[in-house]
């Protein structure tokens, strides 16, 4: 039986292997067409598009241009705040001057005269405290009278040496220097700025540095500082007790330092200046009772000075 080609293609069924190959080929072509659309989202994110980069740049710019934390508002300066600050600064200036005086006085004891005062004080402490009439430390002038005007200073020096040796003497010297400049800083008139007094005392400290030895000349500075402080406080409106304190100062000063007469000179100059001011009509003492106290305190201070 003869079969035509057309009949063969139409009537003859396809073999299973040929159908499978055709089906695989079609599925492969389909996958190739769909692959770009089915890429994972993570891959797209990693590759990134220009639009994505622009978005990131915009977000970064937004973070940078975000407003910084606002600074606290400045406190408005009031007269009270300015005054408090001025008081603190003035205190620090005074403290700096006093501490500087203490530091300058913290030096080694190497003066022979200091040791003489210590030895004299030790002798006085073992022989009735009061100074002898003749010089017990001299080999050639034992019969001559000896007027020891600093006998009380000698006793204090010997007591300090007995407590702590040379270190205690240095501490006493530093304390005396600090107290001296403390009272000098307090001896200011009401119409003079306190910071100006601190500057002046700082300059005075440079001049007085050589006097910071454990000798009666240190008591000279301390006595003058106390005298000026008491007079200034009394002039600035203090009670009369400040002026009467000069009597106590002269009693101790005259027995510790042969130059205690300088305090009397200051007091007499004040009295003489007040007399001139009264006649000129420029007296700073508006109260007559203050003048009467001043006239009275001068002779009493002289008597206290002579108690030696």
Examine the pLDDT at 19 and tell me if it is beyond 60. no
pLDDT value, residue 199: 87
21-30, 59-68, 185-194 — most confident range: 185-194
Q: Which residue has the higher pLDDT, 60 or 231?
A: 231
Which pLDDT score is estimated for 290? 75
Average pLDDT over residues 79-108: 84
Mean pLDDT, to the nearest integer, of 2-13?
A: 44
* Residues 128-136, mean pLDDT to the nearest whole number: 79
Listed as own residue / partner, the contacts of 255-258 with beta carbons closer than 8 Å and 24 or more positions apart are 255/149, 255/150, 255/151, 255/152, 255/153, 255/307, 255/308, 256/150, 256/152, 256/153, 256/156, 256/216, 256/219, 257/149, 257/150, 257/153, 257/216, 257/217, 257/219, 257/220, 257/223, 258/149, 258/150, 258/216
Q: Between residues 78 and 251, which one has the greater pLDDT?
A: 251
Residue 249 neighbours by CB under 8 Å, 6+ apart: 223, 226, 227, 230, 263
CA distance 218 to 210: 10
Q: Where are the domains of the chain?
A: 80-212, 215-308
d(CA 160, CA 167): 9
Q: Which residue has better confidence, 255 or 237?
A: 255
Question: So what's the pLDDT on residue 162?
Answer: 92
Q: Does pLDDT of 127 surpass 50? A: yes
pLDDT, tens digit (0-9, with 9 covering 90-100), for 133-172: 877 777 777 777 888 889 999 999 999 999 988 899 999 9
Q: Is the pLDDT of residue 44 over 50?
A: no
pLDDT (tens digit per residue) in 175-232? 999 999 999 988 887 777 777 888 888 899 998 888 899 999 999 999 999 999 999 9
- What's the confidence (pLDDT) of residue 16? 47
Residue 266 confidence (pLDDT) above 50: yes
Q: Which of 197, 213, 209 is nearest to 101 (CA)?
A: 209
**Which comes out higher in pLDDT, residue 258 or 41?**
258
Q: How far apart are CA 231 and CA 225, in angstroms?
A: 10
209: Cβ–Cβ under 8 A, 6 or more apart, which residues?
Answer: 104
Q: Are the CB atoms for 125 and 189 separated by under 8 Å? A: no
Calculate mean pLDDT across residues 282-290: 70
**Which residue's entry shows tokens 């001299």?**
138
- The token pair at 186 is 């307090």
- d(CA 140, CA 36) in angstroms, rounded, equals 128
Angle CA(12)–CA(14)–CA(18) in degrees, nearest 5? 150
Distance from C-alpha of 300 to C-alpha of 308, rounded to nearest angstrom: 14
Instruction: Compute the average pLDDT of residues 16-20.
Output: 48
> Confidence class of residue 14 from pLDDT cuts 50, 70 and 90?
very low
Q: What is the C-alpha to C-alpha distance for residues 197 and 96, in angstroms, rounded to an integer?
A: 13
């Amino acid at each position: 039986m003869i079969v035509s080609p057309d009949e063969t293609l139409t009537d003859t069924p396809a073999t299973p292997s040929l159908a499978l190959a055709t089906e695989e080929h079609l599925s492969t072509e389909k996958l190739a067409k769909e692959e770009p659309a089915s890429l994972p989202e993570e891959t797209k994110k990693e590759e990134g598009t220009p639009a994505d980069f622009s978005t990131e740049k915009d977000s970064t710019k937004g973070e940078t241009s975000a407003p910084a934390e606002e600074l606290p508002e400045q406190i408005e300066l009031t007269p009270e705040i300015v005054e408090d600050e001025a008081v603190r600064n003035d205190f620090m200036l005074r403290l700096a001057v006093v501490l500087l005086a203490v530091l300058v006085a913290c030096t080694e004891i190497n003066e022979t005269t200091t040791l003489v005062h210590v030895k004299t004080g030790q002798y006085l402490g073992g022989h009735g405290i009061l100074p002898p009439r003749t010089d017990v430390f001299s080999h050639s002038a034992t019969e001559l009278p000896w007027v020891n005007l600093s006998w009380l200073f000698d006793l204090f020096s010997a007591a300090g040496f007995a407590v702590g040796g040379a270190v205690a003497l240095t501490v006493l010297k530093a304390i005396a220097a600090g107290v001296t400049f403390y009272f000098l800083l307090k001896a200011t008139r009401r119409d003079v700025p306190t910071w100006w007094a601190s500057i002046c005392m700082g300059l005075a400290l440079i001049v007085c540095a050589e006097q910071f030895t454990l000798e009666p000349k240190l008591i000279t500075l301390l006595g003058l500082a106390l005298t000026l402080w008491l007079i200034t406080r009394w002039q600035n409106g203090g009670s009369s007790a400040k002026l009467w304190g000069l009597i106590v100062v002269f009693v101790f000063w005259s027995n510790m330092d042969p130059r205690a007469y300088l305090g009397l000179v200051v007091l007499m100059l004040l009295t003489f200046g007040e007399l001139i001011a009264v006649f000129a009509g420029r007296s700073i003492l508006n109260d007559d009772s203050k003048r009467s106290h001043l006239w009275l305190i001068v002779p009493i201070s002289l008597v206290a000075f002579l108690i030696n």
